[in-house]
Amino acid sequence: MKKIGITLGIGIDVINSSRFQKLLQTKSSTFTSRLCDRILHPIHEIPKFKSFTTERQIQYITGAWASKEALFKTLGPEDQKNYNFNQWYRYHDSYNKPFIWSDHYNVEDEEFHLSLSHDDTLVIATVLRQKVYKI
């Protein structure tokens, strides 16, 4: 079975990880916990985040933010109204291709392809939203 995708939207976001570095290194653990609760998925991302060193946490949360901002830009106005960062999570499919998904936005015929790159303190994320037809 093959899949054919029709592009529904594309989003991109660029962020400097120094913004999150300042937040995570100068604020209290309560603030960090609230920030994670707002941005990261409680099951798929927060446990990973907690297992990382501080440097890796900064990279991880910056990547999550950029990915979810890029995804937001692919959505229509109605879907943007109900958008919550922490309902979405990043994963890799069986071919190790990155995707972003939400159990709350369960549309079986759509895919959200993710490309995420880090260069020093800059992070860029691109999300391609597709309607998928199986032939």
Residue 27 has pLDDT above 80, yes or no: no
pLDDT band with cut points at 50, 70 and 90 for residue 106: low
Q: What domain range includes position 40?
A: 3-134
CA distance 127 to 90: 11
Look at the chain and report how many structural domains it folds into.
Answer: 1
Tokens of 60: 């991880």
Residue 88 sits in a domain whose CATH number is 3.90.470.20
Q: For residues 64 and 42, is the Cβ–Cβ distance under 8 A?
A: no
Across the chain, what does the average pLDDT equal?
92
CA distance 47 to 44: 7
Identify the top-confidence range among 19-33, 67-81, 106-120: 67-81
Can you give the pTM of this predicted structure?
A: 0.90
